[in-house]
A and B are shown apart, each in its own frame.
Chain A
Amino acid sequence: MRVIDRYAFGNALRQIDPAQKGALALLAIILCLALDRPAVGALALIWMLALTTWWARIPLRVSGRVLLTEGLFLGLSIIGIALSIGGKTPETTVVAWQIGALWISMTPESLALVTLVLTRSLGCAAALNFLILTTPLVDLIDLMRRIRLPEGLIDIMALTYRAIFVLLDCLERMTTAQDARLGYATARAAMRSAALLASQLFLTAYRRSQRAQIALESRGFDGTLRVLPLTYQRSPRVWQASIALTASLLLAGIVR
């Protein structure tokens, strides 16, 4: 969370209009889903990682780690698609194991499906990662305000995002205080400390919200969080990148 946030605020594309970056990511996702071929997904993955690395100048180590985390969840869920379990001896298989009366097998069809799901998902994930690694939530919230999503929703997002960091700091201080009094010395103590921490953190969050409400009212809060719109640069290079991306993905999607 903090790593993503740090790069989001300090990358080479920070000043670019979030609408442009969002459009680019959305375009890649739509093309990935519409063209629906492994080659398209793989190409989109390469494109978005390349843009994140060379254009936004975010180390591949960082974007790779984010992608790997997502890939891990994906990997767990595609096991179910790849393998089929049955009582009969499977006919066409790539690999098959017999455990007692059961057969665990992988067919060419399931393997093709897995490749498709994997490339498509990773391509989309890389596009989304490009957006979240280059655009801090502050800018995304500003973008949502611009496209006129309901204000209540946006205010809640904005407050939650800020509260996460305040509570994270608070959590760290409380854990350190517990640790200093051997709160995590044994597994038993750790369980107890964690439970206490959770209830204490809830109380802290509640009290904080009351103080925050008072502070907001002091500055004339009347139910809407009015703030200045942020200013950005429009870059023609985003449109150029979008055209190049569309052309190459279409090519990969149509040419046999």
Chain B
Amino acid sequence: MSAVLEFDNLHYTFPGSDTPALRGASLRIEAGRRIALLGRNGAGKSTLFLHGNGILRPAAGQVRLNRRPLEYTRRGLLHVRRQVGLIFQNPDDQLFSASVRQDISFGPLNLGLSVDETRRRVAEAADLCGVSDLLDRPTHALSGGQKTRVALAGVLAMRPDILLVDEATSGLDPWMRQQVFDIFDRLVERGATVALATHDLDAAQYWADTVAVMDEGRVIAVAPSAQIFADPELRALLGPVEARGERREVRGER
């Protein structure tokens, strides 16, 4: 199950916009990695991720999953969406059902799984994300951190090999953020890949093993995190990282 997702020289302009969002973005996302995608607002991180599971179709360039170009047909899209999960910044955008259990069951049922198998997947994903005791609660009664974890469970119930996370950890308190990173780590241990688009430089530096930097619709650097943060030019682009004083361990005790 060593899945590889490749973005190859993608170009994309949103309808009704003059400036292209992607201008030749390339990135290779391999199995078993912790990747942080950094870049300032408007650099194209979200747009790139939306190409990752076929929501957007590049105007030029190619997205490849396991070396095969994405097929933009119903079956092709279902295939890629089973393997590439996408988590959004605002869980309220993703949680469509007022029942937590029903929301998590949506993805597995769309894969054509049986009701029994779906029940197992829901229990498994809820357990992984620590939301088992929330399954019978109404979605609108959950806190922000609980919603984020339920949204995560809703995608993980589809058992994706690659998880693209669009800033889902912003706005969470440090404790809750740690819970989410723990979930990511458990996934990576199982052989999945987590790619996190973030402004959280601490997370990029201490959680990720690979850091990709985007600017103006291109990926301008991909390297081990230490290397990225040692480069004065990239550091200047990303903003002050050590201005906060004492460094904290993001990944916690292990």
Contacts and interface: CB of A to CB of B under 8 A. Distances in A.
Interface of A: 5-6, 9, 136-138, 158-159, 161-162, 165-166, 169, 208, 211-212, 214-222, 225-230
B113 to A, nearest CB: 10
A225 B106 CA distance: 7
B107 A228 contact: no
B88 A228 contact: no
B13 interface: no
B115 interface: yes
Contact of A162 (B98, B106, B154): B98
Interface of B: 50, 53, 55, 74, 77-78, 81-82, 85-86, 88, 90, 92-99, 101-103, 105-107, 109-111, 115, 118-119, 122, 137-141, 154-155, 158
A227 B109 CA distance: 7
Nearest to B85: A218
Nearest to A214: B55
B99 A220 contact: no
B93 to A, nearest CB: 4
A230 B81 CA distance: 26
Given A218-B85, A220-B81, A230 B99 contact: yes
Contacts of B90: 211
* A contact patch SS: helix
Contact of B95 (A162, A169, A217): A162
A219 B105 contact: no
A219 B81 contact: yes
A228 B101 contact: yes
A169 B50 CA distance: 27
B97 A162 contact: yes
Given A219-B110, A220-B107, A228-B109, A136 B138 contact: yes
Contacts of A225: 96-97, 106
A169 B141 CA distance: 11
A139 to B, nearest CB: 9
B37 to A, nearest CB: 17
Contacts of A5: 138, 140
B154 A219 contact: yes
Nearest to B105: A228
A247 B137 CA distance: 37
5 contacts: A158-B97, A216-B96, A216-B106, A217-B55, A218-B55
Nearest to B104: A228
B158 A138 contact: no
A215 B96 contact: yes
Most chain A CB atoms below 10 A, which of B78, B94, B102, B107: B102
B122 A228 contact: yes
